[in-house]
Structure 1
Amino acid sequence: MPDTQLRRNLAEELVSAGALYSPEWMAAFEEVPRHLFVGEFVIRTQEGLTHYSAERHEEWLNAVYSDQGLLTQFSQGESNATSSSSQPSVMAAMLEALNLADGDTVLEIGSGTGYNAALLSHRLGSENVISVDIDPALVEAASEHLRQAGFTTTVAAGNGRDGYPDAAPYSAIIATCSVQRIPVAWLAQVKDGGRIVANIGAVLLAFDVKGGQAIGRPLSIQAMFMALRETAEKQEPVGHLAAPPTQARITRLRIKEAVFTSASFRDFLLLLHPAMEHIAFGADLHMINCPAEESAAWIDISTGTVSEVGSRSPWRLLAGAYEQWDAMGQPELMDLRLSIDEEGNHFIDRTGYESVAI
């Protein structure tokens, strides 16, 4: 099947999924050739990793135009992906959430393969889009991919946390990487009435910016992106041990199973503590990892035992977050707002309840 038909099929699939609805973005997905932006890549599923290359052209092309994320760069083997072409339905939802109009300008944080910048450039014109990435190799590759696709979009090497002040202010900023907090520099570089669409923890939010403040609302589609890198050096993957080390501190307490079974609490937890990782080793054994603090906790529900290592207590953070979630009436994700004041302080809000500072 020719790639033109595959592009149309993908766009129709995104429309059917509710991720895509604007004619301008439908045209972008139908007309921008994704296959020019990826060479070899890997798709990760529950069954494992599957490799694709243009040598098996038909299989490769069908995978390119599937609604799947394509892993394109790795560090320390294939256990730690450092760049990708995001899942198209997630890209479409984020692009729609920017609420753009003709003549608007956009800063993209995280160039990746350049495909998302190409979609933006198709919609707004190359002159109205700037993309920034910390990795010079990705910047060079994305620039070449964009050129091959007929775009002259500016792709710059730099720390995405700083934005790109040279061309500010922008109508919107879109981040294709996750951050723990929205950087103050981004707020300063968006026009009043503009938007920031970004991933905090495992939550995608669209922020309306006004007067140096912002109010973020969750998108209806959710995903977790790779963390924003502030160095071009590839990061070591974090190890996950299925059992606590012998030197772990051990305590016994009553454990609420809802801590691990409620999707609503999980969303709240990752807004409150975006860097926290939860790994389940079966129904009863769970690991809570705080890599930045080099602390971890293993919770065995069957015995009520918590084993911890490191300077912080991940279990106390988890239990405290549960109490805060419970005090807010155990809200669903869509009940929440994330507000940011002029100084960059972040708060989780729910109408009728006291805000939680994060």
Structure 2
Amino acid sequence: MASDPDLETAAVSLRRQLADHLEKGGWLRSPEWRAAVENVPRHVFIPRFYRESDAPGVTTWEPVTPATAGHAEWLRLVYTDETWMTQFDGRDIDWTDPHPVSNTTPTSSSTLPSLVARMLEDLDVHEGMTVLEIGTGTGYSTALMCHRLGSESVTSIETDEKVARRAHEALAQCGYAPHLVVGDGRVGHPDGAPYDRLIATCGFRTIPPAWLQQVLPGGIILTTLRGWMRSLGLVKLIVTGGSASGWFSEDDPSFMIARQQDAPESLGMIPGPDDGTTRKATYGPGVLTSSGPGFMAQLAVPDARFFSMPVDGGPVSTFVLDGVTDSFAVLAPTDSGWQVRQGGPRRLWDAVETAVATWEEYGSPGSAAFGVTVSRDAQVVWLGNPNGPQWPLPS
């Protein structure tokens, strides 16, 4: 077993290696944030975690602690550019006797450092600025901001009281004392407003109106927009007094959705075999899982979810269900392609196909061609420019 001085010496070296990796990858671009990565001990914030097993079959997560992996391997893993899970299904883990887990949903994690560094760089902070963080999690990114700006400039909100308590202890152990709040990130923290910057490390279906009120004009909101089917992506908004607008990033970092905006347990009513009207489908269910068309499908039917299963012992059909309006679309294979059966107040597959056709008409662009405008009255995603094709975000 490594002694504490040996562990700290090894950690210093590993942090330097991590900073080198992040800088070479283009995620770490400034000496100030590099200094934060080199100084903040990530191992204090994730003393134990779960990683995904590579065993075939159902997804299984296996525990990693100094005892299970050995101190050297545990520390090496802590400082790799990976996301490590720290909670499942909103319940605390019994670390006195940890076991592999499966059939479970991660609800808290330590995000991969390259994404953390890239978002912090995109936040474009300067000395003297104040930041509101939505989603404290382990507290690691909070600590990086404290190192960069000073604890007094950082406010962080966590919805889970036990997660917040562990983050508070880890931050205190490292000498940081930001203002930590347990609550609903959608309402922000008006007592500390106004803020120069707001960064969210969980996904939201829409931009909470309170954020617009609490971020100064000219300030930045950096968050992930996502739906119940998939993530839309990271968006950087500039606030202009009661409204904000900005662009999606090139790639699609996917954060867990904020718990207050998670999908309801019920998918909605499964239609009967004779419900709805049938037509030939222009696109099959593959558009739901491919990158660009999947982005468009999420915009087109924001309250829908989908799953596939055999019907009456026949071929696999894909069900798209809208639990808000009880609308549905069922896609089934035919000899010449796909057919769709739709019913309810919204023609879900009509909306999906129209959105995908628009995307193709504009040259099948990446997410960076899309922007967002948010006001008190409406929130829309647009293609090309604010006067281009638009899709409302869910109310």
CA distance 1:192–1:58, change in 2 (3 Å) = same
Unaligned runs of 5+ in 1: none
Structure 1 position 221, deviation (Å): 3.7
TM-score (norm 2): 0.78
Question: Match of 2:240, as an amino acid?
Answer: K
Q: Is the 8 A contact 2:201 2:223 kept in 1?
A: yes
- Gap change, CA 1:169 and 1:352, over 3 Å in 2: closer
User: Is 2:217–2:239's contact at 8 Å kept on the other side of the alignment?
Assistant: yes
User: What SS is found at the alignment partner of 1:339?
Assistant: strand
Residue of structure 1 aligned with 2:82, choices 68, 73, 77:
68
Q: Is the 8 A contact 1:184 1:343 kept in 2?
A: no
* Equivalent residue number for residue 23 of structure 1: 31
Q: Counterpart in 2 of 1:319?
A: 353
Distance (Å, rounded) in 2 between the aligned partners of 1:328 and 1:236:
31
State yes or no: 1:268 paired with 2:296: yes
Name whichever of 87-96 and 264-273 sits farther off. Answer: 264-273
Hey, what's the Cα distance between the residues in 2 that align with 1:245 and 1:45?
Answer: 37
Maintained 8 Å contact 2:271/2:328: no
Number of aligned residues:
353
Contact 2:15 2:39 in 1 (8 A): yes
Percent identical = 34
Determine the C-alpha separation between the residues in 2 that align with 1:238 and 1:206.
31
Mapped to 1, the partners of 2:15 and 2:330 lie a distance apart of 46
Q: Superposition RMSD on alpha carbons, in Å?
A: 3.3
Structure-to-structure mapping, 1:187-336, within 5 angstroms: 187-201=212-226, 202=231, 203-230=233-260, 249=275, 251-257=278-284, 259-260=287-288, 263-271=291-299, 273=301, 276-277=304-305, 286=318, 288=320, 290=322, 297-301=329-333, 304-306=338-340, 314-326=348-360, 328-336=362-370
Letter aligned with residue 181 of structure 1: T
- The runs of 5 or more residues in structure 2 that have no matched partner are 1-6, 92-100, 310-315
Q: Structure 1 residue 3: deviation in Å?
A: 1.1
The equivalent residue for 2:66 is 54
Equivalent pair of 1:90/1:222 in contact (CA under 8 Å)? no
2:193 aligned residue: 168
Contact 2:300-2:351 at 8 Å conserved across structures: no
- Aligned partner of residue 334 in structure 1, secondary structure: helix
Equivalence for 1:351: 385
C-alpha separation in 2, matches of 1:154 and 1:160: 14
Q: Tell me how far apart the structure 1 counterparts of residues 254 and 319 of structure 2 sit (CA, whole Å).
A: 19
Q: Aligned letter for 1:37?
A: F
Checking the alignment, whether the CA contact within 8 Å between 2:382 and 2:388 is kept in structure 1 is no
Higher-Rg structure is 2
Q: 1:310 to 1:129 in 2, by over 3 A?
A: farther
The Cα shift of 1:352 comes to 8.8
Please state how far the C-alpha of 1:308 moved relative to its aligned partner.
Answer: 6.7
